[in-house]
Amino acid sequence: MGIFDKFKKSRESKSVSNEAPSGGHGSHFEAALGNMKLVEGLVMMAAGEPDKKEDLKVETPAFGKTSANVGIKGVNASLDVLSLVVNGQLYTGYPINTNTTKYETIVKSVDQWKNALEAWVTANTGDATLSFFALDYYKNKGKYAAGSKLKVKLGAFAYRVTKANEGIVGKKEKFAVDKMCAILPASLKSESAYPDDYMFQGQVIDIIEFGPNRVFKTKVAIFGKGSLELWIYALGSVITGNFKKWDYISGVLWLQGLIGKG
């Protein structure tokens, strides 16, 4: 098994046992960068020639208490790649959308991965509940304890996105796109979906474009309980059709977050 196999790991075969999840970021890197050769190069650059670096102590099942190094490499103004090296070995890595929106949350539960340095966090945001991949869990796991009140910065990557059309029910009745805005767990449609995967439909309220790629800020309803404004990073290859500011779009995304300052 090569060192990058963990990053190519599919997330389509989720375990239904009570064991801690093993996770994987293959689909995330595919959504962020598309090219696995490019991913390998960026992950190695983040580990060996980072733009930002942090040294810390961690504890893992494999190495116990030991030293770790976090490296972050900027790809563009909206995308970073993180590498986590533990005890001299590349342990994990994932893409980060640097465009975020901060929300007041209360942690409800934490689903820690087998490596003990990554996790899904489920938190209440107002009257609604969302699950996200915690980008900073490796250093802030203590802060993510159930019941903690945290200001969390949320961002996302699109697996696919398209301009939304009117929804049709039966042969006659139509629902306007602005009446169908929502962010819903992808598990409602597929049992293999993970807690941080969501289906969404919302209105584009801002766009950052760089070549064929875009980062768009979308406003969606959270399960009918308030609204969420979310920056979503999308490769040109995952976008179907043309859309502009104030259009409505729909798709599937990966939700990520980290603790914000202040």
* Token pair of 183 as six digits: 């962010």
Structural domain range at position 46: 5-97
The pLDDT > 70 percentage for the chain reads: 85
Nearest partner of 32 among 75, 71, 92, 85, judged by Cα = 75
Q: Is residue 12 included in any domain, yes or no? A: yes
pLDDT at residue number 114:
93
Q: Is residue 255 included in any domain, yes or no? A: no
DSSP strand E in the chain: where?
A: 52-60, 64-76, 79-86, 89-97, 101-112, 119-125, 128-134, 149-163, 167-169, 173-175, 182-185, 197-210, 213-221, 227-234, 239-240, 248-259
Q: Is residue 213 included in any domain, yes or no? A: no
Q: How many CB atoms lie within 10 A of CB 1?
A: 5
pLDDT at residue number 35:
86
The residues facing 170 across adjacent strands are none
The answer to whether residue 82 scores a pLDDT higher than 80 is yes
Q: Is residue 29 included in any domain, yes or no? A: yes
pLDDT at residue number 173:
53
Q: Is residue 69 included in any domain, yes or no? A: yes
Section 137-160 average pLDDT: 97
pLDDT at residue number 16:
43
pLDDT at residue number 21:
78
What pTM does this model have?
A: 0.90
Q: Is residue 150 included in any domain, yes or no? A: no
pLDDT at residue number 101:
95
Least confident of 128-142, 165-179, 200-214: 165-179
What is the number of domains present in the chain? Answer: 1
Section 75-81 average pLDDT: 95
Q: Is residue 56 included in any domain, yes or no? A: yes
Q: Is residue 127 included in any domain, yes or no? A: no
